[in-house]
A = this chain, B = another copy of it.
Amino acid sequence: MTVDGTDENNLERGIYTKDAACLRKNDRHRRSLSDLSLSRKCGVWASHFQRLFVSFIGADWIYLMILGFIMAVFSFAMDIFVDLFTEAHRWIYDLADSHVILQYLAWVAYSMFLMCFAAGFANIVSIQAAGSGIPETKTSLRGVMLQEYFTFKTLVSKFISLTCVLGSELPVGKEGPFVHVGSVCAALLSKFMSHFSSIYKNKARNEEMLTVGCAVGIGCCFAAPIGGALFSLEVTSMFFVARNYWRGFLSATFGAFIFRLLPVWNRQEDTLMALYATKYRLDFPFDLQELPIFAAMGIVCGFGGAFFVYLYGKISLFVKKQKATNSFLMKNCFLYSALVSVLISTLTFPLGFGQFMAGRLTQRDSLISFFDNRTWSNNGIVADFDNDDHLAAWKHPQANVFIILSVFVIMKFWMSALSITLPIPCGSFVPIFVIGAGFGRLIGEGLATLFPDGFNIDGHTYNIVPGAYAVIGAAALTAGVTHTISTGVIMMELTGQISYTLPILISVILANMVSQSLQPSIYDTVIRIKKLPYLPTLSWGHREKYNIYVEDFMKREVCYITLNSTYRDIIKILRSGNLKTLPLVKSAESMLLLGSVERAQLLALLTQRLQHLQEENASTMPVRYKVHFETSAKESASAHLESTKPLKSALKPSVDEEEITSVYDSGLNLKKFFCSRPDIEAMEDDPDAGDDTILQEIEEWEEQQLDEQMNFNSCKIDPAPFQLVEHTSLHKTHTMFSVLNLDYAYVTSIGRLVGVVSLKELRKAIEGCMPADGVRLRPVLSNFRDRGARGTRTETIELHQLLDHQIN
């Protein structure tokens, strides 16, 4: 046997440690059998290899590299398709150069057609593909899994629609959607891999992998693995597990590597380079005197970012209102997209207004020209770069470069805000990036004109580099809109130069400080507008978070079931709301929390009861009743089987809505059966059954059954629902909810259930201590507190306070 103990030892110590114990056992077994026949040996070998394969497939890095590879291919393929689309656009446009109106029609119709197709496709295949997907991913990673956002259909819909949208040259980006695509791929890959290794069935692990998916998405989009890993973290997570840190990096690095390798194989490039590689001088990147200007740019970009978010919010709400009132717009989802597309492509028409805003450049071309390290303005006149197609777009006989840049920034600003409200896959990152770069270039060119001689240091003359201003402007404006710091890192990776680290970081941080104090981030705004179940962050030093306690914001009216609950009670509770889990207490008097019961469990218990009644109480039942009962019990049983699926997924709207309705209905079959008795009419039609005594008998029997105590003996309960006490601080509660991805937690006092805190209550409490619309809201009770004393208070109470609510 060639695989000896040493080899296995190495395997065990290495990363292949998955099934080492099994392998060793297996090995020992093999040794004892070594003198058996060859055929049996082969069988043993096969099983050995199978185990090895399973552990190989189960290794994290295999999964991460596959994910990176897939995303890189996606990103590269999309770039190629988009390039083809834009080339075709230019080709058609050039073909029609005989007449301006023909050219205009070619320019506009092409965009409109692609947009309509994209909107229609997204709408028909999977409407979940619309928007950037970052808010939904964020919500899902926060614990409220939006299952329908992670399906294959959504992936297809997003990929194809996004390609068309980008091809139509609408000012939107692929970064946000790629975060979504990445997490969908991660979810689907987990599902696929679970056929080979059971480790992929673990839910917690798969949720951890979603974060990785986000990192890969950005890593592949910008070839920025570090920035991608950090951005995904800042945007999607509230808490971040250090042990998952390397996963994002590994996957994003491999993804970015493949993404940059493909153009080399494709002979488009010579070697692996940054996406927008710049070549600014390394010996003297910037002068100290420029720092205040960079800082001021950061502040202005902070205001600009906040205004962008504000504008987006206003447009969104306006469109929403219009949609609600205008049934025509609502029904024709892509009419709105087409209108916007026509408007935007009309304005960018290169022979029309487009000539004042470099309309014929794509976003990529604009970025390349902004980052160029040559100075455009020479006393306000663009230098002679006619041989450079990109730079020539910024030259106009009637307008100087400042006017064109200003028009570009202003027009793109509202166009982008408008575009991302469309029901199509679209990201706001890249357009904001382009606007920021344009703004920075404007400032840079201005300074280069004001100080044409640059700086004189130790006899050397260093000119101002307007491209660097574009880099800083892009990073700062994006930071202002997304409220992230990692945009600075993305910027550095994107340009392949890090000599501007400090100016970039300073302006990014200032932009963050300004915009965070004015507006929520673009993603939080979408979450608010779409009313997704989210939890706001506690940021920028809210001292109040330490002085508010659970008792101030918990919900005291808890819907609970007790060990003495009757079937009637249970049905009433199930009907009264749609809580996923219900607390089980010992009795209404003691309120001692035993655990929590899932809704599906209760439905199952009701079904069980039906079966039980059928078996045991057959004799006490009226005969005709029994016949009907058998059918009903069978139906319920099948419904019960369905309900054993994970409840969280079962309770999602759309896809699973039908399923749960049937479960719900079958659960209430009993109620319907017992109380409203639709079969009575059927019986009345039957001549043998039209007997008042029987009906009365049935009614009495039913009432009696309903008043019986529920049998909880075989009920599956979760004995460890998350518990808080009244004196837990808001800060701690927020931490626990964020870290442990809680939806709700029960509030107990010596084991007694006294309240419940759900995401909703927590959200209200947090918003209450944050300034909203300039007015500071505070929880009602916290006003009556002595704040000074609470500042240093520990969370202890005196025992007699606790024992005041004495356990019965």
Contact = CB atoms under 8 A, between A and B. Distances in A.
A249 interface: yes
A272 B502 contact: yes
A241 B731 CA distance: 12
A22 to B, nearest CB: 9
A381 interface: no
B286 A9 contact: no
Contacts of A776: 12, 17, 20-21
Cβ-closest 5 pairs across A and B:
A751-B751, A720-B725, A498-B498, A60-B541, A253-B505
A226 B505 contact: yes
A499 B282 contact: no
Nearest to A547: B202
A74 to B, nearest CB: 19
A689 interface: no
| Number of chain A interface residues as a range | 35 or more
A582 interface: no
A548 interface: no
A105 to B, nearest CB: 42
B505 A751 contact: no
B271 A788 contact: no
Copies of this protein chain in the complex: 2
A538 interface: yes
A271 to B, nearest CB: 6
27 contacts: A12-B776, A13-B774, A17-B771, A17-B776, A20-B771, A198-B792, A199-B546, A202-B792, A226-B505, A233-B242, A233-B245, A239-B242, A240-B240, A243-B538, A243-B539, A253-B506, A272-B291, A594-B750, A594-B799, A713-B798, A713-B800, A717-B802, A719-B725, A720-B728, A720-B795, A739-B740, A750-B751
A494 to B, nearest CB: 10
A271 B457 contact: yes
Interface of A: 9, 12-15, 17-18, 20-21, 58-61, 198-199, 201-202, 204-205, 225-226, 230, 233-234, 237-243, 245-246, 249-250, 253, 256-257, 260-261, 264, 270-274, 277-279, 282-288, 291, 457-458, 485, 488-489, 492-493, 496-499, 501-502, 505-506, 509, 512-513, 517-518, 537-543, 546, 584, 586, 592-595, 712-720, 723-728, 731-732, 735-736, 738-740, 749-751, 771, 774, 776, 778, 788, 791-792, 794-800, 802-803, 807
A493 B240 CA distance: 24
Contacts of A726: 719
Given A18-B541, A288-B264, A720-B795, A750 B496 contact: no
Contacts of A272: 285-286, 288, 291, 502
Contacts of A723: 723
A728 B245 CA distance: 24
A12 B774 contact: yes
